[in-house]
């Protein structure tokens, strides 16, 4: 009986030892697995963050990538340039008599207003002021001094804008076409400079669009002048 008890005790001891070893092994694997999972979670988290970061950055700055002073100046100067084109186009309502002039004025408003918002978001993303006047005194849009001499080609003076506002009918149509040709040529010059000296691919793409679109509009305005 005593021998039987001793044998039973030995078997129980071996079983407990095995169970203990299995349990310890399971805990060790769980610990390792936990670390691995943490590493995987962390890794996938980093991956998600990495893929999400450009999206967030793009949301704040739709011109991702490196930029230089030429990109910044292009946006800062083209914004007020576009804004004046919008002012001129808005004057066509109730003043223009030519159907093609009215159509072109509407197209300019449709194209340039979104571009203004886009360029403002670029500058915000780049941490730069929207107005070049904040860093270059005397170049504020309201001064009317942003002409060929100040580095912004094609801008109309306050006197020009008042003349356009006072005109109606065919007189307005002709004046609008003449002014917009000069205005567009100024924008084209600025856009070509961006294509040459800019660094940001998105900004240079918009510059290329400006050159293409406004060159085509200049041709249309010139044809209108030929028949007015």
Task: Give the CATH number, domain containing residue 138.
Answer: 1.20.1260.10
**Rounded-to-integer distance, Cα 95 and Cα 73, Å:** 34
Same domain assignment for residues 79 and 7? no
Same domain assignment for residues 12 and 95? no
Q: Which residue, chain included where needed, has tokens 């571009």? A: 115
The residue from 39, 60, 81 where one domain ends is 60
Same domain assignment for residues 167 and 183? yes
More confident residue, 155 or 7: 155
> What is the average pLDDT value for the chain, to the nearest integer?
76
**Rounded-to-integer distance, Cα 184 and Cα 92, Å:** 17
Q: What range does the domain containing 136 cover?
A: 63-227
Alpha carbon of residue 190 to chain centroid = 18
Q: What is the mean pLDDT of residues 122-130?
A: 94
Above 70 in pLDDT, residue 19?
Answer: no
Q: H-type helices in 61-139, by residue range?
A: 69-90, 99-126
Same domain assignment for residues 99 and 169? yes
pLDDT, tens digit (0-9, with 9 covering 90-100), for 169-191? 999 999 999 999 999 999 999 99
Same domain assignment for residues 52 and 71? no
CB 164 within 8 A of CB 89: no
**Rounded-to-integer distance, Cα 158 and Cα 163, Å:** 9
The residue from 43, 60, 77 where one domain ends is 60
Q: How many folded domains does the chain comprise?
A: 2
Q: What is the mean pLDDT of residues 191-200?
A: 97
Above 70 in pLDDT, residue 86?
Answer: yes
The per-residue pLDDT for 134 is: 55
Same domain assignment for residues 116 and 158? yes
Same domain assignment for residues 74 and 43? no
Share of the chain above pLDDT 90, in %: 61
The residue from 10, 38, 60 where one domain ends is 60
Above 80 in pLDDT, residue 51?
Answer: no
Q: H-type helices in the chain, by residue range?
A: 2-60, 69-90, 99-126, 158-166, 169-197, 201-227
Q: With bands split at pLDDT 50, 70 and 90, how would you rate the model's confidence at 63?
A: confident
Share of the chain above pLDDT 70, in %: 64
Rounded to two decimals, the pTM is 0.67
CB 70 within 8 A of CB 111: no
């Amino acid at each position: 009986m005593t021998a039987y008890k001793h044998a039973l005790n030995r078997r129980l001891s071996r079983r407990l030892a095995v169970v203990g070893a299995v349990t310890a092994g399971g805990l060790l694997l769980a610990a390792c697995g936990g670390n691995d999972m943490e590493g995987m979670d962390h890794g996938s988290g980093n991956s998600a963050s990495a893929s999400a970061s450009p999206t967030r950055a793009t949301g704040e700055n739709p011109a991702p990538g490196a930029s230089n002073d030429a990109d910044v100046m292009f946006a800062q100067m083209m914004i007020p340039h576009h804004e004046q084109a919008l002012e001129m186009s808005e004057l066509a309502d109730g003043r223009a008599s030519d159907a093609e002039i009215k159509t072109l004025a509407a197209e300019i408003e449709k194209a340039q207003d979104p571009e203004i918002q886009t360029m403002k978001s670029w500058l915000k993303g780049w941490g730069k002021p929207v107005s070049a006047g904040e860093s270059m005194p005397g170049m504020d849009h309201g001064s009317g001094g942003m002409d060929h001499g100040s580095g912004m080609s094609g801008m109309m003076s306050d006197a020009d804008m008042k003349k356009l506002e006072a005109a109606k009918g065919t007189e307005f149509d002709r004046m609008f076409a003449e002014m917009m040709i000069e205005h567009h040529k100024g924008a084209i010059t600025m856009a070509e400079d961006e294509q040459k000296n800019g660094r940001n691919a998105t900004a240079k793409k918009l510059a290329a669009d400006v050159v293409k679109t406004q060159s085509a509009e200049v041709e249309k305005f010139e044809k209108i002048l030929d028949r007015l």
